[in-house]
Structure 1
Amino acid sequence: MFLNCKTWFSFHYGTYEPAKLIEHASQLGVKVLALTNINSTADCWDFVYKCQKEGIKPIIGTEVRNEDTFCYVLLAKNNRGLMAIHDFLSTHKQQEMPFPARPSFVEEDVWVIYRYREELLGESFAANELIGLDIPHLTLLAWQKYVEVLPFVILHPVTYQDKTYYALHRILRAIAKNTLLSKLEPHEYAAPGEVLMEERELVAAFAAFPSIITRTMEVVRSCSIAMEFHTDKNKKCFTSSVEDDVALLRKLAMEGCVARYGGRNREARRRVEKELEMISNLGFTAYFLIVWDILRYANERGFYHVGRGSGANSIVAYCLRITDVDPIKLDLYFERFLNPNRASPPDFDIDFSWQDRDAIFEYIFMRHGRKHVALLGMYNTFQRRAIVRELGKVFGLPKEEIDRLAMQAEWTPEDKIQGWIKKYGELLINFPTNLSIHAGGVLISENPIHAYAVTERPPKGFVTAHIDMFEADRIGLFKFDILSQRGLGHIKDALDLVAKHRGKHIDIHAVEKFLEDPLLAEKIRKADTIGCFYIESPAMRQLLGKLKCSDYLTLVAASSIIRPGVAQSGMMKQYIERYHDPDKVVYLHPKMRELLEETYGVMVYQEDVIKVAHHFGGISLDEADILRRAMSGKYRSENKFGQLRDKFFANCRAFGYEEKVIAEVWRQMESFGGYSFAKGHSASFAVESYQSLYLKTYYPVEFYVAVINNFGGFYRTEFYFHELRRHGGNIQLPCLNHSDYLTAICGDEVYVGFIHMQGLEDQLAKQIVEERHRGGPYLSLEDVLQRLRPAPEQLNLLIRIGALRFTGLDKKTLLWEANFKSKRIATKVTVSLFGEEREPHFTLPSFEENRLEDLKDELDILGFVVGDFFELLEERHLAGSITVRDLPDYLGQQIKIIGRFVTLKETRTIKRERMCFGTFLDVEGNWLDTVHFPPVYRQYPFLGTGFYEILGTVIEDFGVYSVEVYSMHKLGYKFGTNK
């Protein structure tokens, strides 16, 4: 009887979590429930699934609104009706059209229910159009004489739980309207009484009108939604039939096997046969071919890419060149990729350059049909700081107080308003706020996408489904991950620059050569990896140094060890210790040695979690994979994790393991199962790391220019300019006759791109380059003024950075002349009565050049200096300081060192106190790592970019030196600023 229920997926309106709505309905004995979120069906399949488990009949529809104006409720009589509703909502959302007053639907498929208003009484209605009445309407007399004539039904809205949540609903409406709670208008929020009640109570209210009750029951009986959960809904065939798909995949895999392994490798051929059989049996053939086709197109377009994910454990993927990871060489665990009980296909994460990914999306939409393709959605949620800020505004707190509360992890309310923020803020945690786009998921369905979800087109984006990965997985729509990664842009652009400036074409996929290169091994061992994908962060460089890593397999392990779960569980430190002294490894149990000897008894990869759960804990392979996914949060609102935990412990006890051993094994599994990588995934990362490192080692100028031009990496752009200079780059400030919009190589010099000039308009930056290409080099200041007509403030920026130095004039002279001549051109010098007015001549004094002023201009306009940053520091500060190279000589001693701040990483101790790790550059340009424990971090906070005098003790861990700070002071620049 409840035909108009909302959940929190009626964004900023409903207050019910879907599971709580169903639970509450079940407690009240409700047998039928209709989900009608506002202009959305976002959680419809979760709702259907949970209703079926509770024995409640689900009905799916939507409440259609134009802004705050209620239009009607649509209810799907069947799956065709739901698809029609999805078509209807999607069309209006994508075209940003208002919804019509009277929609048109096939009568057999969709009910249209208007909310009672008096002007409807004179209307005629189609067989599928109804008028909804709520309990407050019963006091109105106008409609009652039409009760046997017009199609009235019970339409009681359910929006919130109780008075507390009614208040929360009004708060959500104020947030949506960006207004004070006290300024909300009554039409902007729900009426009192929109709560769930016992069905008999609702029916009893309409007892005087049995025809209305009967018609409502007829509506309920007419609606039915069917869904076979956990069955593959992806595109079934890549070619014209399943048989042709199987034949094509076999042909491609066998040809690839010969290309990868030669024609006589029996082991490779045997594994290919085994995988092909399982892929076919599980119905994943089209999935593999679709990925292969995407990469075939990418190769045709010259788009560089990397394939990873659990699919990287597959030899078929390796033979199809979806990945460059050899599963035989790495002894990758087959069951992490596929096992006979797996319902979903393996993950293929295909990384493209951020510049190329949109072209790949466009190809997928065209290749498979726009009715069958959509990007995967996701939902942003309210979290603590945003909640405090939003509630602070709603309740009218001053900005200063809101900022203070938002920055505090915990606080005690000082007054009534702060108490409200605390109370309602706790209720708002995890409420979804709006539809967003998954990082790279694409859905390609056999039936039209609208059979499952509404779609809309975000600004400047592709069509996106109102369905997240949890819903998609449950109904059997398995995403293809098409991801954007700037590291690939580094590689692609570096290859182009090497080809352009050196005439060399590098086969970047010749990875075997890179793995055996002693120069690359030395770079990794010294952690000289700045700019290289995944191995440039301070934590990763420290790990490489501690492992003395110089080979591919160790780098593969390091790529997973650095993940949060392994590091925070203490297992990273244990791995390092065992790596250096494997003979002293003590295994928790002989079985653990059998399973984890390769990684010294430490679970490093996701495969390790699966192997231990299966072979040690007696859980089946498919359950072990479910456990791995549950640990990583891949199952929402289900107790799969708890169920499998109980089964693991019960099995282990039955096997006779000691309780403390069981508990420790589980702790290790639980602590990082959700954060570690699949081994093939780590191997893919390591391959890309080697490719980056090869380019950095042999073509450092081209490599760092590519990194700079992709604006990607762990560090700010200025530090890649620093590394470029360290590796031989002759960096020049922007120049009108040599610089491009992006940073460019010109002969033996690198010119900073105009894009880095803060305050320079994009249009002018591009015009400078276009006009130079069209009309040749700029010859003089007058030539620049005539051809570009720059605004005076824009011209001043170009002069201050030295972009007109080709004129041979100093900056001050140029500023004087530019100011005068630009005004003359702007006012168009008039001709006097006595002939053409002559341009006045004047003689300027000689101006002295000032290096500090030039550095300040660089700092103001670029945000950094292209030369030695330490020129900005007064030399007296360096007295008594040491450098990074000196650290081994001062182990355990207190030292002073001057550092230029790079970055910091904050973390918390076991006692939840804040501490951090810092990264600096010393006077020689070498990288310095520091540790700031809580008392020091509180007393000596970081105060932004610039120089710091650091006093501390030199410490060492597995040969890696750093400084434990006990005091730190920021130092100013020579010209007196502290920017």
Structure 2
Amino acid sequence: MKAMKVANALKIAPVAFYPAYYEKEEDADLRDIAHMVINNIKTDQPYRFHIPHQRDNSIQNRKHLLVRLMEFSKRMGVEGISSAMVNETQDEIIAACSWRWHEMPVSLPVMAEDEGDTLTRMAAEGLKRRLTTLEFGWKPPAEQYQVYINRLRYELSVLKKLGFCGYFLMVENLLSWARKQDIPVGPGRGSSAGSLVAWAIGITNIDPLRHGLLFERFINPERLDLPDADLDFSQAQRPRVLEYLEEHYGEKYVAGIPNFSYLGMASALRDTARIYGVSTEDMAVSKQLKPFDDEGLTLEETREQLGALDKYAKANPEAFDAACKLQSLMRSYGKHAAGVIVSGVPLTERTPVELRNGVRCIAFDKRFCESMGLIKLDVLGLATLDLLALAKRYIKENEGIDVNLDAIPLDDKRVLEGMALGETTGVFQFESGGMRNLLKNLGSGIKPMSFEMAVATTALYRPGPMQSGMMDTYVSVARGYEDAHSLHPSLDELTKETNGVLVYQEQIMKASQILAGFSLSEADMVRKAIGKKDIEKMKKIGADFSDRAQLGWLEVQTDDGQIVTVHRAALHPCSDGKKRTVEQAMKEDADIIEFDTSK
């Protein structure tokens, strides 16, 4: 009543609304079920809290809302209630609102007056230093220097074109500060290890050419996907890193990223089964749902394809019906463990900012950062780095030796012998029982344990390769039980070091090049479609791959008399700025300025 008096006095037209928590009236019990799922309460729990107390919080039409409003005015003795509060006022608000979404340009702090020139200078100086310094017991031979220089020029041209030079300078600034503060920093992991520029300026400590890593897996020149580097710091000192970002760039420009967890197909089935008291035996069907969930199917659609799920639904109709309705429901929200946004403009110009457990966070999760032009840094805390720092300190105190981890050769015999015996307790990514067993299986093979073999285990000891049989095939070949299988004669060289198995995403990309003449940018799209299990995109790419793979290769004589082998479907840059196949260039009398001979 007081509110109505104030509204009348200020001549503010009130608007009527009714809280809607679900779509239809019959969905009222879903609120109760969702409450039980989130709070781990069973349906038969004595004296449990029931919600909702009323069953009319569904979406109401205007006529229904007006009836409710009149009932409310009589019950509360409120005067001045009219149909205008439902009709005209709502329409006025709707008419006054307009919203249009548009992709926002990338916003980063300005790191230098000319970021491109600054990065070029730093990268050139860094590469010169890297090429003449022993790292992990090795340095590139002089005859390979030009290969490194050409790769550096190519990467820098892409970074300048896409406007990512500032990002590299920002990451380098953070890592350089951390090292000066004696904060342990990781050597680099993830796709950023494929960048020679990142290696040259000290973002990573991994030579991508030595290890066959691809720049296009990190940054695709033909798609404006924002870079996303994983940065490992001491877990104990990670808070100092976050403090530095806030102090250096300003609190208004730095914030964390939230995350939201949703009930997937399997979790919806398990959680509803639990609150309805379904037996563990019946609940086991949830383990069979992942392939269907990956395809984006609903439980109802999966029931038609999976007999075990149909049997479960018939035996537990209430639990199954609830699971169907709760699938995709947001279960909880929190803060992303590592994600940090550093912006060139105040974050409130791009997104709402809120506090989560006392920490500033933007309101949208990482899926929407790119659309808002915000680049995410993954600032991870790694306990292994603390352990290594502690070990180095103890060795110095007790033995008087300064251990340089970067000086240990990758073919160190004692280290590899220890790995072959599974003696990896406390070693990051190698300490689980299953991983140690895998190392021991490989260590008793026909070839001695190598660094390359140890690296392969980190890619093989994952659910996909284990379930598909790839890991077993790799081990079987390593132990001499079978010969490496040839996927295709032209791929034998590519899979020689991985026992005939496509272990790495880089191999998928290179195979796309070899078989179908895909550019590395196109090959990266193949990798992403497979990684995200995007069935529709894989079908589309698959059709293109099949067509192009049948075209084959041809030999072409260049202007200087050289004979080069190129794929018929490969696109080559021409003098007019366009890209064409050899046959298109001949037909249109276009000059190819550089042949794409990658295989």
Find the partner of 1:194 among 58, 79, 96. 58
- Is residue 244 of structure 2 the alignment partner of residue 363 of structure 1? yes
- Is residue 539 of structure 2 the alignment partner of residue 645 of structure 1? yes
1:575 maps to what in 2? 474
Find the partner of 1:378 among 234, 259, 263. 259
Q: Residues 404 and 228 of structure 1: is their aligned pair in 2 closer, same or farther, counting only changes over 3 Å? A: same
1:300 maps to what in 2? 180
1:883 maps to what in 2? none
Separation (CA, whole Å) in 2 of partners of 1:470 and 1:514: 40
1:554 maps to what in 2? 453
Q: CA deviation at 1:519?
A: 2.0
Q: Deviations over 1:861-918 (max 9, x none)?
A: xxxxxxxxxxxxxxxxxxxxxxxxxxxxxxxxxxxxxxxxxxxxxxxxxxxxxxxxxx
- Is residue 129 of structure 2 the alignment partner of residue 256 of structure 1? no
Gaps of 5+ in 2: 70-81, 134-141, 287-308, 552-599
Counting matched residue pairs gives: 498
Q: Deviations over 1:217-262 (max 9, x none)?
A: 3422332334333x553415223x4x2x222212221221121103
Separation (CA, whole Å) in 2 of partners of 1:486 and 1:654: 47
2:323 maps to what in 1? 425
Separation (CA, whole Å) in 2 of partners of 1:573 and 1:405: 29
Separation (CA, whole Å) in 2 of partners of 1:467 and 1:268: 40
1:449 maps to what in 2? 347
- Is residue 99 of structure 2 the alignment partner of residue 235 of structure 1? no
Separation (CA, whole Å) in 1 of partners of 2:538 and 2:271: 39
Q: Residues 626 and 415 of structure 1: is their aligned pair in 2 closer, same or farther, counting only changes over 3 Å? A: closer
Separation (CA, whole Å) in 1 of partners of 2:40 and 2:383: 36
2:93 maps to what in 1? 219
- Is residue 2 of structure 2 the alignment partner of residue 119 of structure 1? yes
Query: Which residues in structure 2 correspond to 1:374-773 (within 5 Å)?
Result: 374-382=255-263, 420-459=318-357, 462-510=359-407, 513-548=408-443, 549-579=448-478, 584-593=483-492, 595-613=494-512, 615-616=514-515, 621-622=520-521, 624-633=523-532, 640-649=534-543, 651-652=545-546, 655-656=549-550
2:158 aligns to what SS in structure 1? helix
Gaps of 5+ in 1: 1-117, 128-148, 396-400, 658-979
Q: CA deviation at 1:292?
A: 0.7
1:976 maps to what in 2? none
Scaled by the length of structure 1, what TM-score is found? 0.45
Q: 8 Å contact 2:313–2:320 — kept in the other structure?
A: no
- Is residue 168 of structure 2 the alignment partner of residue 288 of structure 1? yes
Q: 8 Å contact 1:276–1:316 — kept in the other structure?
A: yes
2:458 aligns to what SS in structure 1? helix
Find the partner of 1:336 among 207, 217, 225. 217
Query: Which residues in structure 2 correspond to 1:118-157 (within 5 Å)?
Result: 118-124=1-7, 150-153=12-15, 155=17, 157=19
Which structure has more RCO (C-alpha within 8 Å, separation ≥ 6)? 2
Letter in 2 for 1:356: Q
Q: Residues 124 and 217 of structure 1: is their aligned pair in 2 closer, same or farther, counting only changes over 3 Å? A: closer
Q: Residues 205 and 184 of structure 1: is their aligned pair in 2 closer, same or farther, counting only changes over 3 Å? A: closer
2:293 maps to what in 1? none
Q: CA deviation at 1:293?
A: 1.1
2:228 aligns to what SS in structure 1? coil
Separation (CA, whole Å) in 2 of partners of 1:220 and 1:616: 56
Q: Residues 336 and 177 of structure 1: is their aligned pair in 2 closer, same or farther, counting only changes over 3 Å? A: closer
Separation (CA, whole Å) in 2 of partners of 1:252 and 1:285: 11
1:440 aligns to what SS in structure 2? strand
1:699 maps to what in 2? none
1:296 aligns to what SS in structure 2? helix
Q: Residues 491 and 184 of structure 1: is their aligned pair in 2 closer, same or farther, counting only changes over 3 Å? A: closer
Separation (CA, whole Å) in 1 of partners of 2:489 and 2:544: 19
2:232 aligns to what SS in structure 1? strand
Letter in 2 for 1:368: Y
Q: Deviations over 1:107-141 (max 9, x none)?
A: xxxxxxxxxxx3322114899xxxxxxxxxxxxxx
Q: CA deviation at 1:326?
A: 0.8
1:316 maps to what in 2? 197
Q: Answer with 150-159 or 350-359: which moved more.
A: 150-159
Separation (CA, whole Å) in 2 of partners of 1:179 and 1:565: 34
- Is residue 125 of structure 2 the alignment partner of residue 247 of structure 1? no
Q: CA deviation at 1:457?
A: 3.5
Separation (CA, whole Å) in 2 of partners of 1:174 and 1:547: 48
Separation (CA, whole Å) in 1 of partners of 2:274 and 2:314: 12
Letter in 1 for 2:244: Y
Q: CA deviation at 1:168?
A: 0.3
Separation (CA, whole Å) in 2 of partners of 1:587 and 1:617: 18
Q: CA deviation at 1:480?
A: 0.9
Q: CA deviation at 1:286?
A: 1.4
Q: CA deviation at 1:419?
A: 5.0
Separation (CA, whole Å) in 2 of partners of 1:450 and 1:125: 35
1:463 aligns to what SS in structure 2? strand
Separation (CA, whole Å) in 2 of partners of 1:194 and 1:430: 19
Q: CA deviation at 1:201?
A: 9.6
2:503 aligns to what SS in structure 1? coil
Separation (CA, whole Å) in 2 of partners of 1:179 and 1:598: 53
Q: Deviations over 1:473-518 (max 9, x none)?
A: 44443311111222212111111111222222212222xx332432
Letter in 2 for 1:282: L
Separation (CA, whole Å) in 2 of partners of 1:419 and 1:583: 49
1:279 maps to what in 2? 159
Separation (CA, whole Å) in 1 of partners of 2:372 and 2:516: 30
Q: Residues 191 and 366 of structure 1: is their aligned pair in 2 closer, same or farther, counting only changes over 3 Å? A: farther
Q: 8 Å contact 2:491–2:514 — kept in the other structure?
A: no
Letter in 2 for 1:602: V
Q: CA deviation at 1:416?
A: 13
Separation (CA, whole Å) in 1 of partners of 2:484 and 2:311: 52
1:483 aligns to what SS in structure 2? strand
Query: Which residues in structure 2 correspond to 1:773-812 (within 5 Å)?
Result: none
Separation (CA, whole Å) in 2 of partners of 1:581 and 1:388: 43
1:550 aligns to what SS in structure 2? coil
